[in-house]
Chain A
Amino acid sequence: MSIVSPIGNGIKSVNRWFSRLPYVQNTVCSKFQDPKANSAWIAGLGVASIVLKDGFGCYLYVKQSLNNKEIPEDKRKFVAALDLANGGLMILLQVLMTYTISKKVFQEKMFNKMFGKLFNRQSSKSVQAIMESRDHLRGKVKGNQEFHKAFADYKNSAIAALGTLTTLIAATTVGKRILTPFIATPLADKTKEWMCRNDKPAQIHKDTKNTYDTHTPASEKVKEQVCANKLNIVK
């Protein structure tokens, strides 16, 4: 018997067991039944998923960066420090951004500003008039409750999508990738100092010594060196 079948059956059983959990059935599934009303909760679940992964990832990255012999030793602690500062800050800022952006008042204002015109009374009347002008729909749209239901469905979808997208973008792009590095990079300097507080001065091999300065890019230096060598040959 192949080993794939028991593994597959095991995965399926675990998955079904998870689907039967009371929290999944009573809370998570019920929130997904009304995406418009629960857009903040659903977006929060998305961010929670990312935050959980970030927390676990941060631990793994720091541990692995510190032990990664392939990263130059003089840069290893900075990379690890950056990971640690990044991890802590990104979790904090993502949670903060989610709580701010996903607020109902904020979402409603943003939606009305961006898409309000497309869902007001005149817009609905416009769509009705345009649909009524088509031969196969003549006499079937005005006064039809199905129209209002379908129109509202588009509005609800737009509200849910905007809520989820803005929350995720605010958390994962603005909070995590703009604000975090901005604060984390200088914080990493401090973290690195803290991590190196008991270290002896690093023995840097002359061949891998960091000779670069912040004023002249490395590529320029190489070019200068090549020019100087050529001049020496000419002389």
Chain B
Amino acid sequence: MKVENVKLGINNSNPVKQQRAYKYSFTGTIPNKAANLNMKEEIKTFMPPIIKGMKKVSDNMGEVQNILINAIGTGLVAPIFIKWNPLSKTDEDTRTYSAWRQPVSAVLAIVTQVGVTIPFNRMIDRLANNGYYDENYNKTLFQDKSYIEKIIKHQYPYATKNQISQMVKQKMTAQQDNLIRMIKEDKIVMNKDNGQTFEMSEKNYRKLQEDVIDSKLADANAELKKCNEITIPKKIQRAEYYRNNTQEAREIFQKLSDKLNGTSAPSEVRKEVKNLKKLHKNKDPELISIFNEILERRGNNTKDLKTAIKAKLDGILRDIDFYTTEHTLTSKEEVVEFVKNWETEKRINPINSEINVLNKMKEMVTKKESMSNIENYLDSVIEQDKGHRLAKFKFSKEISKLLQDRIKNNLKAHKQLTGLRVSLLILPLSCWLLNWTYPKFMDAVFPNLSNKKHPNEIKDLVNKANKQTEVKS
């Protein structure tokens, strides 16, 4: 194998016959965006910038970020509290001298610790992509985009940027398809950096299946609990308010809806809602609650805010009609019974059905039944009820996603611990550098503080001393 190939972890030799069955091809197609809606990506556009920033921080948090936060505190905050410390009796010059040590120390910490941690992080990524690690850190079945790009650039040095980008997309899709195919066959075969392959342990594979189902079950149970404890009581309360105050509610919210439709500034409607809230403060608390819900509507710009408020007002007017015109409810008991029955039919029964199916699937996993059996069972359920809550649930795809997330998180943990070890090892060098740089920096920039005389002053002193010697002699 060529030296360059070894460095990049490119494995051209493929002696194992069995491996061929799992080798991806370049015939994969780029997925149609509309068909495969990526909700995480779509929702991103509509999240406030601060939340997008927080997600970025959360995704990228690691040893480098720890070092940077620490260095910011060291370099920018610490000097202030050393120099202007009213409790210290030490003279100001000495305190200023000590305070300047902090920014110097911060810069050196960034240069040395981050300078070493980043190459180590890159090394870990490369090793994970080329199969050096065990199955818990092995990314050979879903390599990073940058890693694939590097390999393709190396294999096709004359390919254009567009061609490379196309090939990267194709390879990533092919890898994803290949992984799902392996899961469907209950056999996840990972690659090693030396060209060999190994199968993921049965225990870990079954754990992945169980965890996917458990997570889905937890979501369904939480939704069921929320429905019983929050949604139904709230709907009863709201329906009862509409039943008792049909005329008033319709007038208020129709007026607001008309006002919103006639303006491009939703802030005017918000203002009106605030006024109405003050005006009706002694009336039914349910009305105040509805006003608050309108005020809680948000959008990143005027147009989006208008859309959000409009959806709310339309919903209110629809509910008024639903509980008063479409269904005539004459007493509170009728309201309670109607809402409970309606919600049971529309929400609780489908959730219960989902829970039953998931429990059955879990049982099959425990009995170590094949993936095809489990998916066939799920398909048969959906075949009978096209609108089933699990209609869009692709078990093998979810396992693939969980496996990728799990390895990504394992690598994050591994990187953080490696960063800690490496920066501890580099610490003596940082300290030595600080002690070497700090006095030199102070002599050069603040000679008065370091008591170092300026060369001219030293020259004057020497001349003066020489003159005195001459006079004496």
**Which residues of A are in contact with B by a Cβ distance under 8 Å?**
11-12, 15-16, 18-20, 24-25, 28-29, 31-33, 35, 42, 45-46, 49-50, 52-53, 56-57, 60-61, 64-65, 68, 70-72, 75, 78-79, 82, 115, 117-118, 120, 122-123, 125-133, 136-137, 140, 144-147, 149-151, 153-154, 157-158, 160-162, 164-165, 168-169, 172-173, 176-178, 181-183, 185-186, 188-189, 207-210, 212-214, 217-219, 222
CB closest residue in chain A, given B78: A177
Most buried by A among B58, B90, B123, B420: B58
Cβ of A158 and Cβ of B54 under 8 Å apart? yes
The answer, among A50, A173, A212, A213, for a CB contact under 8 Å with B72, is A173
Cβ of B297 and Cβ of A126 under 8 Å apart? yes
Cβ of B51 and Cβ of A20 under 8 Å apart? no
**A-B contact list, 10 entries, CB within 8 Å:** A19-B134, A49-B423, A53-B427, A122-B293, A126-B311, A127-B46, A146-B37, A146-B39, A154-B55, A176-B73
- Which chain B residues numbered 42 to 92 have a C-beta less than 8 Å away from chain A? 42-43, 46-48, 50-51, 54-55, 57-59, 61, 63, 66, 69-70, 72-74, 77-78, 81-82, 85, 87-92
A70 neighbours in B (Cβ, 8 Å) = 439-440, 443
Cβ of A18 and Cβ of B417 under 8 Å apart? yes
Cβ of B450 and Cβ of A125 under 8 Å apart? no
What 4 pairs across the A-B complex have the smallest Cβ distances? A129-B311, A126-B308, A173-B73, A70-B439
Docked pose: A212 CA to B133 CA in angstroms: 61
Cβ of B55 and Cβ of A157 under 8 Å apart? yes
Docked pose: A18 CA to B410 CA in angstroms: 13
Most buried by A among B70, B91, B92, B427: B70
Cβ of A65 and Cβ of B435 under 8 Å apart? yes
Cβ of A29 and Cβ of B69 under 8 Å apart? no
**Which residues of B are in contact with A by a Cβ distance under 8 Å?**
34, 37, 39-40, 42-43, 46-48, 50-51, 54-55, 57-59, 61, 63, 66, 69-70, 72-74, 77-78, 81-82, 85, 87-95, 97-98, 101-102, 120, 123-124, 127, 132-134, 136-137, 219, 293, 296-299, 304, 307-308, 310-312, 389, 392, 405-406, 409-410, 412-414, 416-421, 423-424, 427-428, 430-432, 434-435, 438-440, 443, 448-451, 453, 461
A78-B90, A128-B311, A151-B43 are known contacts; what are 14 more A-B pairs with Cβ within 8 Å? A16-B134, A29-B413, A32-B412, A57-B431, A64-B435, A123-B298, A129-B310, A129-B312, A130-B299, A161-B57, A165-B57, A177-B73, A210-B451, A214-B91
Cβ of B219 and Cβ of A145 under 8 Å apart? yes
A20 neighbours in B (Cβ, 8 Å) = 134
Docked pose: A150 CA to B299 CA in angstroms: 18
Cβ of A207 and Cβ of B419 under 8 Å apart? no
The answer, among A125, A126, A185, for a CB contact under 8 Å with B87, is A185
Cβ of A24 and Cβ of B417 under 8 Å apart? yes
A125 neighbours in B (Cβ, 8 Å) = 297, 308, 311-312
Cβ of A79 and Cβ of B101 under 8 Å apart? yes
Cβ of A154 and Cβ of B132 under 8 Å apart? no
Docked pose: A22 CA to B93 CA in angstroms: 52
Separation in Å of the B438 CB from the closest CB of chain A?
8
Separation in Å of the A68 CB from the closest CB of chain B?
5
Cβ of B312 and Cβ of A72 under 8 Å apart? no
Cβ of A218 and Cβ of B449 under 8 Å apart? yes
B304 neighbours in A (Cβ, 8 Å) = 126, 130
Q: Given A125-B297, A160-B58, A169-B69 in contact, is the A213-B448 Cβ separation under 8 Å?
A: no
The answer, among A129, A136, A185, A207, for a CB contact under 8 Å with B461, is A207
CB closest residue in chain B, given A158: B54
B69 neighbours in A (Cβ, 8 Å) = 165, 168-169, 172-173
Cβ of A185 and Cβ of B299 under 8 Å apart? no
Cβ of B93 and Cβ of A24 under 8 Å apart? no
Docked pose: A61 CA to B436 CA in angstroms: 11
Docked pose: A182 CA to B39 CA in angstroms: 49
Cβ of B432 and Cβ of A64 under 8 Å apart? yes
A118 neighbours in B (Cβ, 8 Å) = 48, 50-51, 298
A149 neighbours in B (Cβ, 8 Å) = 39, 219
A75 neighbours in B (Cβ, 8 Å) = 94, 97, 451
Docked pose: A209 CA to B452 CA in angstroms: 10
Cβ of A16 and Cβ of B132 under 8 Å apart? yes
Docked pose: A127 CA to B55 CA in angstroms: 17
B47 neighbours in A (Cβ, 8 Å) = 127, 154
Cβ of A122 and Cβ of B134 under 8 Å apart? no
CB closest residue in chain A, given B87: A186
B97 neighbours in A (Cβ, 8 Å) = 75, 79
CB closest residue in chain B, given A69: B439
Cβ of B101 and Cβ of A130 under 8 Å apart? no
The answer, among A133, A160, A176, for a CB contact under 8 Å with B307, is A133
Docked pose: A45 CA to B87 CA in angstroms: 33
Separation in Å of the B351 CB from the closest CB of chain A?
11
Q: Given A20-B134, A153-B40 in contact, is the A60-B428 Cβ separation under 8 Å?
A: yes
Cβ of A28 and Cβ of B417 under 8 Å apart? yes
B438 neighbours in A (Cβ, 8 Å) = 71
B421 neighbours in A (Cβ, 8 Å) = 18
A122 neighbours in B (Cβ, 8 Å) = 293, 296-298, 312
A182 neighbours in B (Cβ, 8 Å) = 81, 85, 87
Separation in Å of the B270 CB from the closest CB of chain A?
13
A68 neighbours in B (Cβ, 8 Å) = 435, 439
CB closest residue in chain B, given A8: B123
The answer, among A117, A133, A181, for a CB contact under 8 Å with B85, is A181
B389 neighbours in A (Cβ, 8 Å) = 145
Docked pose: A119 CA to B454 CA in angstroms: 62
B94 neighbours in A (Cβ, 8 Å) = 75, 78, 210
Cβ of A219 and Cβ of B448 under 8 Å apart? yes
Separation in Å of the B10 CB from the closest CB of chain A?
17
Separation in Å of the A147 CB from the closest CB of chain B?
6
Cβ of B34 and Cβ of A177 under 8 Å apart? no
Separation in Å of the B430 CB from the closest CB of chain A?
7
CB closest residue in chain A, given B57: A161
Cβ of B81 and Cβ of A154 under 8 Å apart? no
A33 neighbours in B (Cβ, 8 Å) = 405-406, 409
Separation in Å of the A59 CB from the closest CB of chain B?
9
